[in-house]
Amino acid sequence: MNLQFNEDQLDALREFMNVSIGAATASMASLLDAFGTMHIPKIDICNSNELGAKIQESIDMRSMYFVSKQLFTGKFGGECMFVISEDSSMNLGRYLYGIENPSFDEINDAVIELTNILTSTIVSRLTEELSTQVQFFVPSLQFLDSASIVDEEDVVEYSKIIIISTILDFKDQQIVGNIYILTKDEAIESLKVLIDKKIEEIYG
């Protein structure tokens, strides 16, 4: 199984992701009444055992994190992971619930809600661009220290992983989070087929 992307495929994927991120930014502004920015997505293809290190590169190791994961299935399937620090989560809970001291449950639900919006908009738009459909599953949430975000044993069964990552930043509300769209082996193969099909459609 060749899991490497050629330059054309990578360019197309970057373009689809830019569109998806744009859609997510717009959705958040409309649904949450907050202006957030999202960084240009970074695309990494790495071995599954490198995932933990890749994620730790982009977060503060001293903080505790709420880690929300939502699975999606279809021709392009995978896992969307949203990693948000304890401080940012508190600010998110305050903002979405409109109270100064949100409870742990309220913070959890706020993180779930933001994950929902992010995953749905980014992945839905990406799959729309790829002319396919996906089904979303209930997000799960954990409160973890930075070293425990990815359990190496959980990912060893995959050989390759694509990490599409971006940073979400609500400056006014002081909310920053990292979003990772993870997909593995067979799904990477499917993604390549879908991208090729789309390139064919666009450029004939």
Partner 1 sequence: MIEIRYPDVLLDSLENGHMIIDEHFVVNYWNRWLAINTQINKEDIVGKNLQEFYPDINYKVLYRKIKTALTIGTPTFYDTNSSKKFISINRNKVTTSSLKLMQQQVTISPYIASENRVMISIYDISELFEAKLLIKKEMNTVNKLNQKLEADREIIDKNIMIMKTSVNGIIKDVSSFFCSSFDIQRDEIIGKNISIFKSDDVSELIYKELWETIKNKKPWNGELKYKGLRAQEKWLQSRIMPIFDTHGEIHEFSAVYHDITNEKLLAELYITDSLTKLYNRAHFDETINMIVKHQRKVDSDFILVLVDIDHFKSINDTYGHQVGDEALVSVAKTLKSSLRDNDLVARWGGEEFVIMLKNITIDEAEIIVEKIRVNIEKSIIKKDIKVTASFGLTKYIAGEDSKEIFKRADDALYEAKNSGRNRVVLK
Q: Are 179 and 118 in contact (CB under 8 A)?
A: yes
Our CB check for partner 1 shows the closer of 78 and 139 to be: 139
CB of 98 to partner 1, least distance (A): 7
CB of 165 to partner 1, least distance (A): 21
Place of tokens 């064919």: 200
The C-alpha atoms of residue 166 and residue 177 are separated, in whole angstroms, by 9
Type of residue found at 99: I
CB of 199 to partner 1, least distance (A): 26
Q: Are 13 and 127 in contact (CB under 8 A)?
A: no
HSE of 71, CA atoms in CB hemisphere, 13 A? 7
Place of tokens 């939502």: 70
Place of tokens 């995959």: 158
Our CB check for partner 1 shows the closer of 43 and 141 to be: 141
Report the interface residues with partner 1, using CB under 8 A. Answer: 27, 30-32, 96-98, 105, 108-109, 112-113, 116-117, 120-121, 124, 136, 138-141
Our CB check for partner 1 shows the closer of 99 and 193 to be: 99
Our CB check for partner 1 shows the closer of 43 and 117 to be: 117
CB of 135 to partner 1, least distance (A): 9
